[in-house]
Every structure is written in structure tokens, then in C-alpha cells.
Amino acid sequence: MKISQIKKILQADILTGKEENSVEVAFGTDLMSDVLAFFGESDNTLLLTGLTNLQVIRTAELLDINAIIFVRGKEPKDELIKEAEECGITLLSTDYTLYEASGLLFTHGLRGINTDDNLPESPERGLDHG
């Protein structure tokens, strides 16, 4: 999914990076330890988080995450934006919560990082509708 599409879906502001860049999978958390523990090998990954500290950029750089969306209207400091620019990481900000932003992107076809190969890929994974 192109960053330009994500920007439109989430009514987000691009803080740095290019709208033409793309992501293939997404992961949402406010715990960088979760990113380190659950992150699978996947290029073109989007991280959704409410954290706006340099640890987010350091973690993204370490794992080759190429885009970050700050949720809940969070705006990072200029130092963080500059660090992201130097690392080639696209940054966006949206007023949606982490839950809402993740749901909207999933609904529009951006899949999450599957941490359990036994889980079905469908959005209705095993839900009992009866």
C-alpha cells in the first residue's frame, strides 16, 4: 500500500518521507520490546505507535522498518524527525487511535505481521457468527 493511500485513509500528515513509498505489512504497539519480540522478517513494514521518542526510530532502523505512523495526534520533536530523515524512515501523524488506525488499514487491505502461522489470514479468523 502506498504512503499516499495511507495518508488519505487515516487523514494523516506526512512529517517526512515520500508519498510514493510503499509498505506491505503493519504492526501496532506502544512497546518497543513487542516490536523486537514479534517482528518477523518482512520488507516494507509500517509501525503504528503513540510513542514519540528516539527509541522508536532506533528500533525501526535496527529492524529496517521504513514507515511509522504516530497515532492519537502525537507530534514528534524536530530532533526525532531529523533522525528519521537521516535513516530514510517515513513519518506520519494521525488523530485516530492505534485501534482505529489499525482497523482502517486492515479494512483497506493492509495485512498485519502474522505472529502465528496457524492463524488464518482472513479478517473473520475463526469467529463464531452463529
Query: For the chain, how many helices (H) and strands (E)?
Result: 5, 6
* All domains in the chain, ordered by first residue: 3-112 (3.40.1390.20)
Query: Could you tell me the pLDDT band of residue 77, with boundaries at 50, 70 and 90?
Result: very high
Q: 102: burial class by Cβ within 10 Å (0-12, 13-18, 19+)?
A: buried
Per-residue pLDDT, 44: 85
38-50 pLDDT, tens per residue?
A: 665 566 889 999 9
Length of the chain equals 130
Distance, in Å, from the CA atom of 52 to the CA atom of 70, rounded to the nearest integer, reads: 7
Distance, in Å, from the CA atom of 122 to the CA atom of 7, rounded to the nearest integer, reads: 24
Per-residue pLDDT, 38: 65
Q: What is the DSSP letter of 2?
A: B
Per-residue pLDDT, 118: 45
pLDDT over 90 (residue 88) = yes
